[in-house]
Structure 1
Amino acid sequence: MAEQRHHALDQAAVEAFAARLAAVAPAAGLLSLRGELGAGKSTFARAFLRALGVSGTIRSPTYTLVEPYDVTAPPGGPGRVLHLDLYRLADPEELDYLGVRDEADQALFLVEWLSQAVGELEADLELSLSGEASRPDRRDLVCRAATPLGEAWLARLAAD
């Protein structure tokens, strides 16, 4: 599967990448945001949502587990985005109580800690953020396609 790698990005460059990825986002799919606590997943998600036209407060779904957004997306892009943080999910079956399955074919999902929902949700695109303790202001970013939809998403990004 295709991937893009970017090294030693500062916060502005990570946010710019998020905006570029949002500009070519599909109407529905799942973007998995991976990285340790403090790696910049929520910062990336905020920049992604801002690029889709979300204004006002963008809350972290750390305690609510899901935050829905109706967006003013680019043509052909998402009209609704669900930002999920599954870190506190005790069992993947708890997703049933969140009501997110009903929107799987109609919304774009940004999911932090997708590993908590093994077997229940599948990423189309996996974005990993990492950094070195000696350089907390720099992040490495790897964006990897996991499905044909993810391949098409990365191809649109490369063509942009």
Structure 2
Amino acid sequence: MSSKKTGEQGGSYMLMKPLVETEQALGVRAEFDLRVQSLVVEADGCVVGIGAKRYGEDVYVKARRGELLAMGSFAFNEDMVRANEPRFLGRLAGSIEAHDGRAIQMGQSIGAATAHTDATEVAFFCDPQLLVRSILVNGRGQRYINEDTYPGRLGQATLFHQEN
């Protein structure tokens, strides 16, 4: 593992590497570093392309056989947070400002349905070795969870059930 490059150490690399290799083998053209601004839709409702920005420049991509939008979250869209998971209002988001729900709204504008938009990921950043040697206690000094459980479960139990 010490021979890995920095970018290859993240979880996204393990997901994206086989995806990119497969798309290349199939002759799929990929565009990166685009911020989609709009869908280009024909009168019959068929999506035929996108309008986007790449480093401030307008870019238009015409679809030959289809479009795939990788959509971020809506953590930085207060209205969508209020409608879907109001327990997060006023809290720091564990994502980037580009996660404003725009792509989700674009999909909805052409009839796409959403599901599980109230599902949340609450990160609890701590070295697992420290957690299993620790005890998490609430404001009353009571242990409230088994510390060797999944970090997302720790985060939800801490955020949602321990009076902040």
**Structure-2-length-normalised TM-score:** 0.22
| Structure of higher CA gyration radius | 2
RCO comparison, higher one (Cα < 8 Å, 6+)? 1
**Structure-1-length-normalised TM-score:** 0.23
More strand per residue: 1
